[in-house]
Amino acid sequence: MSITRLGVNVDHVATVRQARRGAEPDPVTAAAIAELAGADGITVHLREDRRHILDRDVMLLRRTVQTHLNLEMAATDEMVAIAMKVVPDYVTLVPEKRQELTTEGGLDVVKYKDKLTRQIDLLHQADITVSLFVDPDLEQLKASARIKADYVEIHTGAYCDAKGKQQTVELIKIEEAIKAGKKLGLGVNAGHGLNYQNIRPILALGGVEEFNIGHSIIARAVLVGLDRAVREMAELVHGR
């Protein structure tokens, strides 16, 4: 069985840089450190408002990332055109609202199937593997498979925010979504809100190919250093 992968999202290194609109800390340097510490992939979200990651970061990361580059972006024609220029290894399409603090929910693949079909087709023509960020919902998974997404990334946010019994309810939804996604022939990734504690029950379910984790790793890195923060998460994800 292949090893579960850790994708490290370095957006919040850029958040600190943008607090002063300066040059440091550089998410490109952070990505290299994360790879040396055991990351299996690097993820960045180029938001439409460019609040953290900038076009320059994406261009440089394309040339420097040694593992794989996953570009998260809104499902807009402007962003698809950028992806076609950059040609990351993966694109993860997400819903995006300007006022949100972070991505708030999964894509509505059922509603936007026509637009998404066209965008997936374009990205495939550029040899980019496409993942759709979706809630753990069977209809969304079925629609993702129908429009020929390669992967889904299951939104773990509701599970991470839930408390007590509700957390078990949300975990079961994730378990069912992993099984359904695989049955439909999709690769299954997961992410959003995961930290060093709440990832453990999801790891125990098995079946997730890659976890995309940002905030908790960068938050820990501020206190203990990026190398150690990535190593500790990589050990968990790799089961060592």
Q: Which residue has the tokens 């889904």?
A: 152
Find the binder of ligand PXP among 5, 6, 9, 220 (CB under 6 A): 9
45 contributes a contact to ligand PXP by CB under 6 A: yes
Catalytic pick among 12, 170, 192, 209: 192
User: How many chain residues interact with ligand PXP (CB under 6 A)?
Assistant: 19
3-state secondary structure the chain: CCCCEEEEECHHHHHHHHCCCCCCCCHHHHHHHHHHCCCCEEEEECCCCCCCCCHHHHHHHHHHCCCCEEEEEECCHHHHHHHHHHCCCEEEEECCCCCCCCCCCCCCCCCCHHHHHHHHHHHHHCCCEEEEEECCCHHHHHHHHHCCCCEEEEECHHHHHCCHHHHHHHHHHHHHHHHHHHHCCCEEEEECCCCCCCHHHHHHHCCCCEEEECHHHHHHHHHHCHHHHHHHHHHHHHCC
Looking at the Cβ atoms of 104 and 175, the one nearer to ligand PXP is 104
The one segment of 30-38, 48-56, 189-197, 225-233 that binds ligand PXP by CB under 6 A: 189-197
The one segment of 24-32, 48-56, 211-219, 220-228 that binds ligand PXP by CB under 6 A: 211-219
Find the binder of ligand PXP among 5, 17, 192, 220 (CB under 6 A): 192
- The interface with ligand PXP within residues 131-150 (CB under 6 A) comprises 133
The one segment of 15-23, 34-42, 207-215, 232-240 that binds ligand PXP by CB under 6 A: 207-215
191 contributes a contact to ligand PXP by CB under 6 A: yes
Q: Positive or negative CA dihedral for 171, 173, 179, 181?
A: negative
The tokens for 225 are 């250093």
44 contributes a contact to ligand PXP by CB under 6 A: no
User: CB of residue 220 vs ligand PXP: minimum separation in angstroms?
Assistant: 11
Q: Is 7:210 a contact under the CB 8 Å cutoff? A: yes
Q: Is 40:6 a contact under the CB 8 Å cutoff? A: yes
Find the binder of ligand PXP among 25, 27, 136, 214 (CB under 6 A): 214
| 192 assigned to active site | yes
Find the binder of ligand PXP among 92, 119, 140, 144 (CB under 6 A): 92
153 contributes a contact to ligand PXP by CB under 6 A: yes
Find the binder of ligand PXP among 67, 103, 140, 144 (CB under 6 A): 103
Q: Which residues here bind ligand PXP, judged by CB under 6 A?
A: 9, 11, 45, 72, 92, 94, 102-103, 133, 153, 191-194, 212-216
